[in-house]
Structures are given as structure tokens and as C-alpha cells.
Amino acid sequence: MNWDIYLDHIRSDSGLVADAARRGLEADVPCCEGWTVRHLVGHLGQVQREKELIVRERLSAPPEEITIPEADLVDWFEEGSAMLLDALVGADPAGPAWTWHEPDQTIGFWYRRMAQEALIHRVDAEQSFGTVSGVDEALAGDGVDELIAVMLTGLPDWASFRATGQTVCLSVPGKSWSLEEGSFSGISPSTGNTYEDLLAFEAAAPRADIATSISGDAAAMDLWLWGRGPIDKLTVEGDSALADTLRQAAKEATQ
């Protein structure tokens, strides 16, 4: 997507979060168990301010955690969103910046990530009051691609993948992804933690003998993968249990 379009979505979706928050900070957030809108706004505000620091100061490591205020939370959130946008506008997307995704250490990563973060939490905020405004199809399709390529697939070099032979194909207008179910094992050299036969999906070449096909519009696909929308707005063909397994893997990858 065009970099300016990401900025437009950060701006509009952050504004809708603030609008929802002014309706009541103590409303429950349906898809975030135990959270109220106050928790949601604090979380998104904290994330945006931390990324503003990374971009503005070209940090090569994560900053210290930002403190969330008790009072004037919505004003604080709006101020932080404006600061993030100002930092991104003044930055080259190809410029270096720390990210948690090792293959991409550029400011452009945060353009995309912050647009997708604002979208999902805008949906959370609006669901708290029972009405969700439209989701842009291009942004949603980009969100599906980000979740799959950045969060769900791509094991580190020290991990081994054992495939089950079961493949699922996700399709939205103009784009599709083939994923193979399996498990990964290995020992992290940085932490020493051992992982054994944990659920995983990896990108696979398109094939005819897929076990499960899931298709629909990009907004429905994106919200389902993020646990913000039902699968019944999509068409599932084949093994529905594999669709449930994919959703579980997506949940684990995005927590």
C-alpha cells in the first residue's frame, strides 16, 4: 500500500477510537476478555507513543514502557496519535528503526503495523457499543497478508518444521495464501528455551489437493483471523476442523 494511505488510516481509525472512548471508558470490550474501553485506549495510546519514540529518535532498541495516565486519558491518547503521525510524516519509510520483526528493521514496518493496530482496536472500541463502521477492503487485505507473513509463518533458523500434509488456502479478491499445517521444535539460542511439537503453519506452494479452503471478502477474513469476526461470514469448504486450528494458531501468534 502507499505510505500516505497508511497514515490516513492511522489518523481516521485513531479518531474513531477517541470518538468511541468519549461514549464511555467503562464499557466492556467483547473480544478482549477483562478489558474495558479504558484498558483499550490506554494500551493503544501506549503503543503509539512508544513507536513515535522509535521513529522520531531512530532507536535501535525498544524504549522504556510509557506510563498510562489515570486522568484525561482520551486527550492523552489523541495527543499521542498526533505525535505518532507527525513522526511518521517526517521520516523516510526506508530508514532504519528497531522492530520486533528481525527481517524488517525499517520505519516502513511501523507505518504498516500502526495502521493495522489502529484498525483492529478501532473495531474493538466500536464493538463495545454495538456498531462497527466499515473496514476498508485494501487495508484489510494488507492486514491478512501482514498477519500471515509477519506473525503466523516464518520460523527462526534454529527451529525445525514437521508438516502434517494438510494444506489450507485462504482467498480474498485478488489475493490468496496457501499454508501447510505442522509443528515446530527447537532450542532458542538467545533464551535457552526448548520448544517441542508446537502448532505451526508455514507458507506452501499452491496445490490442488488442499484440505480446507476459506474464502470471502478481505474485511471478513481479517476480522476472523484476529478473532473480531465470525467465520460464518466466510465460505469454508473441506475440513472445518483445520479452519479452527488455523484460527487457534493465529490467536497464539497475535497475543
At 33-91, the pLDDT tens digits run 999 999 999 999 999 999 999 999 999 999 999 999 999 999 999 999 999 999 999 89
- pLDDT at residue 75, rounded to an integer: 98
| Cβ-Cβ contacts under 8 Å for 56 (sequence gap 6 or more) | 87, 90, 91
Q: How far apart are CA 244 and CA 255, in angstroms?
A: 17
Q: Residue 37 to residues 21, 127, 150: CA-CA distances in angstroms? A: 6, 10, 27
If one compares 218 and 190, the residue with the highest pLDDT of the two is 218
Question: Which pLDDT band, with edges at 50, 70 and 90, does 252 fall under?
Answer: very high
Q: In sequence order, what are the residues at sequence separation of 6 or more whose Cβ sits closer than 8 angstroms to the Cβ of residue 34?
A: none
The pLDDT score that the predictor gives to residue 72 is 97
pTM for the model = 0.95
Checking if the pLDDT of 226 tops 80, the result is yes
Q: Which residues contact 10 (CB under 8 A, 6 or more apart)?
A: 81, 84, 85, 88, 114, 115, 118
Looking at the chain, the whole-number percentage of residues with pLDDT higher than 90 is: 96
Are the CB atoms for 209 and 167 separated by under 8 Å?
yes
Q: 121 with 40: CB under 8 angstroms?
A: yes
pLDDT of residue 80: 98
Q: Which domains does the chain have, with CATH numbers?
A: 3-130 (1.20.120.450), 150-254 (3.30.1050)
**Sequence-ordered list of residues with C-beta below 8 angstroms from that of 207, at least 6 positions apart, any chain:** 167, 178
In this structure, which amino acid lies at residue 100?
W
Question: Of 6, 47, 3, 4, nearest to 139 (Cα)?
Answer: 6
Q: Mean pLDDT over all residues of the chain?
A: 96
The DSSP annotation for 124-189 comes to HHHHTTT------HHHHHHHHHHIIIIIIS---TT-EEEEEEEEEEEEETTEEEEEEEEEEEEE-T
* Lowest mean pLDDT segment, chosen from 117-131, 198-212, 217-231: 198-212
Residues 231-253 have a mean pLDDT of 97
Residue 5 has pLDDT above 80, yes or no: yes
pLDDT of residue 115: 98
Q: What average pLDDT does range 169-181 have in this prediction? A: 97
How far from 148 is each of 129, 155, 207, CA to CA, in Å? Answer: 29, 12, 18
Q: What does the pLDDT read at residue 205?
A: 86
The pLDDT of 124-152, averaged and rounded, is: 97
Helix (H, G, I), strand (E, B) or coil at 197: strand
110 class by beta-carbon count within 10 Å (0-12 exposed, 13-18 middle, 19+ buried): buried
Tell me, what's the pLDDT at 208?
75
Taking 90 as the threshold, does the pLDDT of residue 206 lie above it?
A: no
